[in-house]
Structure 1
């Protein structure tokens, strides 16, 4: 990659001396020349404040291949367009991206919503981009059931889930029949009050936003005692949350929108036999945060480049999806959603 080298100190001194001598010989220059010289000097000063390199830390979804190679198209793109070296490092988990930023081992992090919140709160990081998956920067947790007669106030209707191009069933007006499903919450949360003390409800780990945290908060907001209002059935993963209802191990389960798509290859009947009947408030996708140590003009250019990356080439789209499971980034950060997520995280921090 071609890199612009900065002038040495001795060269700058020599140039300055020559400029002073020339002014002494020729007197004053025109105002336009003076203005141009001043602007060039200011630009040079601003550029000299940029670091020679920055490091980007992320947790890729890529497995079983050379991760450095997987990162290279993105870091090469940024290096070429910023004119400084951009290095990519793989973090062991999302929390490690925050630790790297706090220790100045990374100046840019691609991470989940909770880690974005922590980076902002702990290290005054700047939220610059949000992740986009299939056109959305957030998603709801979905309440699923195998007993629509109990939890649905109307007959379930079919709506298409665009990500898998499959019609699935929804009730309580959360989707419109024959239309593309939107997954917009909150919707029909009152239906959760129909859960009775002996009912089995499948819940994922307490660290899962869609499989535990947002559903628990929704039920508590309805005045339900989530410790005694039902029988908890522990499951691991969104696919197993759906299968628990499909197989009759639980009457209700929770997962991300729309987790039924994760089991359709093995259980295509999940599209009809598992009905979505309520949506929680929206859960934010992750995004990109930058260290407060970076110059503002560098952050502005970095934001622009990453925002445009998915549209820069067909390869970029593939790299982005394969590397972090995204279709795009957006500068519309909706930081209030990240703040709300942080509030919910605090409820489950102990």
Structure 2
């Protein structure tokens, strides 16, 4: 996304994108013309002088309605701990949270990695990372390549998953009773690592990613680190033109990409870690139908960020409440359902420089 794109985004969707409104509604707003003359460093803010409510924004990892329901227990815990009403909302896409945070319409945001890097670039003085996500002991994750066609496999699909071992994507086998020894929780397993009673175990196989040439590939969206940027970089480095050698299909969410492969709308797809878990309740055989065929390089995990002008004690309390909540049985179950989070560590903005560098190498910010 170019800097010009961010300016247009602010001009035409400062309010509507963050709240899911229509573009037509924004055009009719009298304030749109004023927003055009503002800089990215100094956008309009709707923050009230007295903090009597916190607004927490989330990007879509699943269908918006389902995710909106899933975040409510966490909002209740934050409200009780802070003594302030905390309202959660799900933006229509990654850019929506960027605009909401930069304009002051949201106070806290759960960003994917690239989304936060984009937000820092657009609003360098307005956002502050307070936590980075831990998933099953790991501070990083990866994108996974998927297929519904076992004939593309070089090896017979087995219960297993991929892990980067010494920088090399390696297929690690498991069994019906033993989860593969990888960091990411797999589709046929509970968040505590025990086998699930009804969800089938997930299959994986080795395959050359060149099998994707000439085929439809389901991506998340261009703002997704694991669902577009890193997979595209990997294809590019293999000599595959990720725009012309394949047919890109953008689904808008990770479960959308998995569903596209599961339903046969596309032969291949990419999404984070084992995103098959996102549709396992309605499709318990997803692990057998959608097969992992490879992974990307490691990506720094998601981030929770706040408006930099929030009171310091509020920032500290938000981190403490969320960190303690995710350590409880209820919190672990809720966070696993939302994004697959299992813990939090403190974070600083500088930790995401590596993703910024990758985006710049990819030409994402070229004018």
Report the counterpart of residue 116 of structure 1 in structure 2.
Answer: 116
Q: Is 2:340 aligned against 1:338? A: no
Query: TM-score, structure 1 length as denominator?
Result: 0.59
Shift of 1:222: 1.6
Which structure has the bigger radius of gyration?
1
Going from structure 1 to structure 2, the CA distance change for 1:261 and 1:296 (only over 3 Å counts) comes to closer
Going from structure 1 to structure 2, the CA distance change for 1:99 and 1:271 (only over 3 Å counts) comes to closer
In 2, Cα distance between the equivalents of 1:249 and 1:99? 32
Match of 2:68 among 53, 63, 70: 63
| 1:74-122 Cα shifts (integer Å, max 9, x gaps) | 122134xxxxxx4424456265555455455665444443443244442
Q: Is 2:128 aligned against 1:126? A: yes
Report the counterpart of residue 157 of structure 2 in structure 1.
Answer: 156
Question: Contact 2:161/2:171 (CA < 8 Å) preserved in 1?
Answer: no
In 1, Cα distance between the equivalents of 2:314 and 2:252? 42
Going from structure 1 to structure 2, the CA distance change for 1:253 and 1:336 (only over 3 Å counts) comes to farther
Going from structure 1 to structure 2, the CA distance change for 1:271 and 1:140 (only over 3 Å counts) comes to same
| 1:292-343 Cα shifts (integer Å, max 9, x gaps) | 33565664555344322333x6565566567x55655412538676334445
Query: TM-score, structure 2 length as denominator?
Result: 0.57
Report the counterpart of residue 214 of structure 1 in structure 2.
Answer: 230
Shift of 1:129: 0.5
Report the counterpart of residue 141 of structure 2 in structure 1.
Answer: 139
Going from structure 1 to structure 2, the CA distance change for 1:239 and 1:326 (only over 3 Å counts) comes to closer
In 2, Cα distance between the equivalents of 1:65 and 1:192? 35
Report the counterpart of residue 76 of structure 1 in structure 2.
Answer: 80
Shift of 1:283: 3.9
Higher normalized helix content (fraction of residues): 1
| 1:201-231 Cα shifts (integer Å, max 9, x gaps) | 3444434443333221210122212233234
Question: Contact 2:146/2:291 (CA < 8 Å) preserved in 1?
Answer: yes
Shift of 1:270: 3.8
Q: Is 2:198 aligned against 1:193? A: no
Question: Contact 1:102/1:123 (CA < 8 Å) preserved in 2?
Answer: no
Equivalences for residues 234-253 of structure 1 within 5 A: 235=251, 237-239=253-255, 241-246=257-262, 248-253=264-269
Report the counterpart of residue 172 of structure 2 in structure 1.
Answer: 175
Shift of 1:177: 3.4
Question: Contact 1:189/1:218 (CA < 8 Å) preserved in 2?
Answer: no
Gaps of 5+ in 2: 1-48, 59-65, 163-168, 185-204
SS at 1:173 equivalent: strand
Equivalenced residue count is: 276
Q: Is 2:254 aligned against 1:256? A: no
| 1:243-263 Cα shifts (integer Å, max 9, x gaps) | 554555544322232233344
In 1, Cα distance between the equivalents of 2:171 and 2:113? 25
Going from structure 1 to structure 2, the CA distance change for 1:113 and 1:247 (only over 3 Å counts) comes to closer
Going from structure 1 to structure 2, the CA distance change for 1:77 and 1:296 (only over 3 Å counts) comes to closer
The two structures, once aligned, show a CA RMSD in angstroms of 4.3
Going from structure 1 to structure 2, the CA distance change for 1:345 and 1:304 (only over 3 Å counts) comes to same
In 2, Cα distance between the equivalents of 1:175 and 1:146? 20
In 2, Cα distance between the equivalents of 1:195 and 1:149? 12
SS at 1:128 equivalent: strand
In 2, Cα distance between the equivalents of 1:306 and 1:64? 18
Going from structure 1 to structure 2, the CA distance change for 1:327 and 1:87 (only over 3 Å counts) comes to same
In 2, Cα distance between the equivalents of 1:111 and 1:54? 23
Gaps of 5+ in 1: 1-50, 80-85, 162-171
In 2, Cα distance between the equivalents of 1:120 and 1:207? 14
In 2, Cα distance between the equivalents of 1:189 and 1:271? 16
